[in-house]
């Protein structure tokens, strides 16, 4: 009786090839479409990273403000400072969400998809 006691991670089954996103700037600078696509990808990644950073910063400030509020120990000044930190974190989150909403609204009004900059860059004429 031949038993195969390998778990999934131990099996030698190929799962396919893995490919990265590629270079941020194309290797052939004469190819304008590739330049537009890579610039769009770069801008999209930067917008995504800034949005992620804003969300993480909000979460960190909210946690720190909550901790400071709980550890104020009846001190009204410390509780007020912590409450202001929580309020400022919420205001920052609202600003980020409103900025994305306003960009989408302007894009809808002007018929330009600002968050899909690849199409905008490719349609530019010089």
pLDDT at 30: 56
Within-domain flag for 110: yes
pLDDT at position 86 is 94
27 within some domain: no
Would residue 79 count as lying in a domain? yes
Query: What percentage of the chain has pLDDT greater than the value 70?
Result: 54
Nearest residue to 61 (alpha-carbon basis) of 84, 77, 79, 80: 84
Establish if 2 belongs to a structural domain: no
Query: Looking at the domain assignment, is residue 61 inside a domain?
Result: yes
Q: Which pLDDT value is given to residue 56?
A: 93
CB-count exposure of residue 26 (10 Å: 0-12, 13-18, 19+): middle
Q: Which carries the bigger pLDDT value, residue 29 or residue 38?
A: 38
In a domain, 118, yes or no: yes
94, part of any domain: yes
- Number of domains, the chain: 1
Residue 6 forms part of a structural domain: no
Summary mean pLDDT of the chain: 75
Residue 74 belongs to what domain range? Answer: 32-122
Q: What is the mean pLDDT of residues 98-115?
A: 79
């Amino acid at each position: 009786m031949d038993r195969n006691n390998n778990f999934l991670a131990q099996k030698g089954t190929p799962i396919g090839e893995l490919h990265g996103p590629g270079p941020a700037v194309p290797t052939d600078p004469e190819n304008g479409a590739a330049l537009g696509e890579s610039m769009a990808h770069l801008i999209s990644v930067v917008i995504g990273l800034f949005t992620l950073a804003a969300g993480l910063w909000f979460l960190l400030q909210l946690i720190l403000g909550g901790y400071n509020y709980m550890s104020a120990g009846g001190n009204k000044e410390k509780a007020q400072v912590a409450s202001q930190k929580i309020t400022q974190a919420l205001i920052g989150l609202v600003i980020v969400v409103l900025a994305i909403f306003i960009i989408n609204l302007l894009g809808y009004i002007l018929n330009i998809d600002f968050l899909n900059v690849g199409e905008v860059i490719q349609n530019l004429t010089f």
